[in-house]
Structure formats: structure tokens, C-alpha cells
Structure 1
Amino acid sequence: MRFVTFSTSQLPTPHLGLLRDDEVLDVDLAGRALKQDVPDQMLDLIDNYEHYRPALDALLEKAGKRRFSEVKTYTDIGAVHALSEVELAAPIPRPRKNVICLAVNYSEHAKETAGVREHKGEIPQIPVFFTKATTSVNSPFGTVEIDPSVSTELDWEVELGVIIGKRGKNISEEEALSYVFGYTVLNDMTARDLQSNHKQFFKGKSLDGTCPMGPCIVTADEIPDPQNLGIRLRVNGVTKQDGNTGMMIFSIARSIAILSKGMTLEPGDIIATGTPSGVGFSRKPPEFLKPGDVVESEVEQIGTLRNRIVEAGK
């Protein structure tokens, strides 16, 4: 299944939708029509997915192979919306915890940053983890503000996002993927000057709005091999990053196993799995985002983020 968090002019509070092709089904309204117990928010869905799964299956079975808009039961109550007519929020608009991220998890990215980072291009022997503040989360098509008094070196990093679906600690690598609820797309935008000045990642990674996410969460059963997905990023239509998740140094399963040692992962936790080569600050000369730029971040089988850069206060 593919889930979104969306709002409309009639229902401005973001709530849960089922995405199929170019249509969004309002889960709450459809559930009422079929007298099914369904969630209205993404975190409730993730927390209780096994409980809600039969009801969600019933919503899909009602449509069968038809479009949602061809089901009179749904259209009569206004439960169907064209994707182009809704506003998408980040699938989890306000995570309960910081977004957990992996640094230098693609070998070519490690090599390209060798001259500007202390690791000298060496492949890490253990994952490097850091976090982004919850307030950095942005919508898949939201604007990203640049405040030149704060940073003048905003960079891009397209990443596959992993959404944890059940509580676990000391998870084995063999069982790790069974703890995944689904996958999404993130752009781990980074203020490189702050990252350098503060000698660590958190501040430079956590400016407001610098973690666009979405456009949906695709459940894990629809992506049986998350280590074989094309991943790319464009700035103003020009491809800057083009890789595959199979190029990760630490697989998703391995990363979850190491992260969960002595540390409990919980439903709704978000893990950003690292970025391929092609970031801006390692280019010669360096390239950074500026007002007017449009950044598109894409992961195969999931979708594309499209974020415009604007100057704060303009």
C-alpha cells in the first residue's frame, strides 16, 4: 500500500490517505462508509498496522481493479480526491523523535568528500550516525527557506528513508527488515558552513525545513528488495546525483541491527540511509543552493520530491 498525509480546502487538517495512481482516498471517510475501524493519522496507522490491516484491505477490495473515483460509495461521500488537487504534507509531519541519519554510507560519496573531510576517503568500518531535529521536516513539495545571515552553503543529499514499524532492541540482521513498516524519500539538506564551524553534524543538519520527505510511504511488502532502487537528484533539471541503493556500504538490515544494539527502536522512527556521490560541497568549484533553484529528489518505486528554494522573508 501507499500512504500519504494530505489536506484539502474543505479539510485543512492533515490526515491519512491511500494513494493509488493519481488519486487519494480519504481513509477515515471511506472507513465510515464501509463501517470499518480505520486510522486517521499516519502514526496511529504505523503503531497499530496489524490491527488496521483487515479494514484497509476491505477499502481496497471495495474498489477492486477500478479507480477509486469509479466507486460510487466513495464518490458520494467525497472520499476521493485527485492527487493534483490535494496538498501533501510530509508522511509523518512531526516525528516523535529526531530523524536518525547515516553519514558516508556510499563508497563513492566517501571518496568525493575525502579532500574536505577528515576521514580521507576511507570506507568506515562501523556506521556513522547523527540526527536531524524534528523541526527540520518539510513537505514533499514545500519551499525551503535560505537565510543568508544563518548559512550561505546549503547543500543537497537525496536519501532512501526507512520507517520502523515495530518496537525492537538488539535486532538481528536476519530479522531486521521485518521491523520495517515502509520506505520514503528524503532530502538531507545540509548547511555545510555550519557543519564545518560547529565541528559536528547536528546544527548544520537541523535548520527548519531542511528535511523534505515523501511524497508517500510505500509499505515494505511492495518493495521486497530495498537494496536495488535507483536514487537520483536534480537541481533545475540538471542531474547531480545518480546511484542505486545497492551501493550502500552498510545495508539497511545491517544498519538496523547495529543501531538497535542496546537501543530500542520504536514504530514511527525514521532512518535516513545515506546519500550517493554528487553533493555540492565536494564539487570543484563547490556548488550550493540559491533562491529560485528547484530540487527534485527521486527514489525508484516511491516517488519524487520537488522543493523550491526561497530567501527568508521574501
Structure 2
Amino acid sequence: MSMKRFNVSLLFLALTAPLWSQGPITSQAIQQAQEGRTEAAALTVDDAIKGLEGQDAMTWYVKAFIQKTLYVERDGRDPGSPARDVAVGAILRSHELDQNGRLSERLEPLLTFLAETHLEDARDAIRTSTPGDATSAQRHFEQYALLQSAVDPMWDPTPDAVLLDQQLAEFAFARAETEERTAAGPWFAWGVQRYSAAANQGHDQYRSLYNLAVHTYNQGVRQFKAAEDNLDALDNALKNAAVLWRIAAEELEEAIEIDPNRPTGYEALAVVSEALLNQDRIEWCKTHLSELGGR
């Protein structure tokens, strides 16, 4: 017997007769699930819900648990599993019906489990995001937040939402570094958008602004280096890089204002400031190189 099946059986065995005496069809579904006939149990509990037992929070809990079992054992935790979607709807309905909280000790573990699977899938979906589109990651996160809020109405989703945006931004900037110059722009802009969204949520702002500044500065460096062997393109490249460096400086100043006790902000601002101060020197070198090339 597998550990997953063992855990299922233990939980159902814990739901003993007094709780089920008024739900014969639900009891039949439990028996089928204990025997490993999960598909049949799913059909049976649906029949229970169509009748008077559908007003019982426990019946909806059993439906949620059976569908959760199908999601894990039949669907292999597939992010697109319809069984999980059904399980989420059923557990939320059970939570709604359980006004006196008699099922809270059973509901909360299942709510938490389903929530965590959606959070995992949200993070995994980052790798399939594209510039301007993180629909899959955001959809999974919304389900995660919905379930977590059922567990704890006072729960604040902001820290997890900020972390997701930060991870989306890092993925985008990593892609911007590896793409050809023509394809890097959309990824860079997407990274800026996600870090800006993270900073605007008021949590972990220093990290968002500092990382955004570092990536903005590096983007300017990459653009400049790409043109350093081409004197004709160097002037525009320097101007474009300087625009990014000034933006990076502003972002670092904002980060320092938020937390003036972190040395990393000052260190990074010194690097960016030096790059800006070196513009005149670069212009001087470019002029002299042009003159030498004309001789």
C-alpha cells in the first residue's frame, strides 16, 4: 500500500459512524474510497450532493477529498487537472456550510494542501511566462490566495504576491541577457514592469528597487559594449546607456531613502555615478579615435 493511499485511508477511518449516520450515500462513497475505488466514489458522492446530503458540509468535504485523491493519484498533480478544480470548489463549499466550525480540523489541512499546490504551480509557471503575459502564474496564485484566505481570513497575500512579481522579473531579466539584442528589449521591459509592480505593493521595496536598478544599469552596459567596436554607433549607444544609468541612479536613490542603513545601495550608486561621470571621458576618447582614424 502506498503512503498516499495509506494517508487517505487513515483520514477516512477517522470519520467514524456518528458523523455519517445521516448520510448513507456519502457513507457508501467513503467505503468505495477506502477500497481504492476512487472513480466510483466520486460518482457516488455526486449522487449524495444531489439530494438532502448536499446541504451537509461533510458531504462536500468528502467530495473535495475524493477529487484531491484523483488529482494526486490519477492525474499526477498535473497543473491542469480538472479534479483539483473540482476539489477546490468542493472544499470552499464545505467551508461555507460549516458555520459552527465543527469540521475545521479536517478542512484546514486540505485547504492548505490545495493552496500549496497552486503556489507551487504558480512558481513553476514563471518559466512559461512571456513578455506581458504571466496569466498561468497569476491564475494559480489567485487560487492559492483564495484558499489561504479561507484558512485564515486575516492572512495578507502581499508578501507572496511581491515575491511572485520579483521572480517573474528575475526570469525576464535572465532572458533579456541571453536573447539577441532585438529580442532582449521586450524581456527587459517586462522585467522592469514586474519589479515596478512589486515595489508599488509596499512590501520588500528595497529589494525590488535595488535589483531593478542593478538590472537597469547592466542593460546600459550591455548596450554600450555591443557598440564599442563601431565608432559610428558608439555615440547613440552611449546616450542610450546614459539614459538607463540615470534611471538606475534614481531607483537606487529611492531604495536608499526607503532603507538608508544598507550599504549595498550606496555601493551600487557609486558605480552608477562613476559610469555617468565617465561619459565625458568616453566622448573625448571617441573624438581622438576618430581623428586618428582619419589620418
State the TM-score, normalizing by the size of structure 1: 0.25
Whichever structure has more strand as a proportion of its residues is 1
Whichever structure has more helix as a proportion of its residues is 2
- The higher relative CO (CA closer than 8 Å, separation ≥ 6) is in 1
State the TM-score, normalizing by the size of structure 2: 0.26
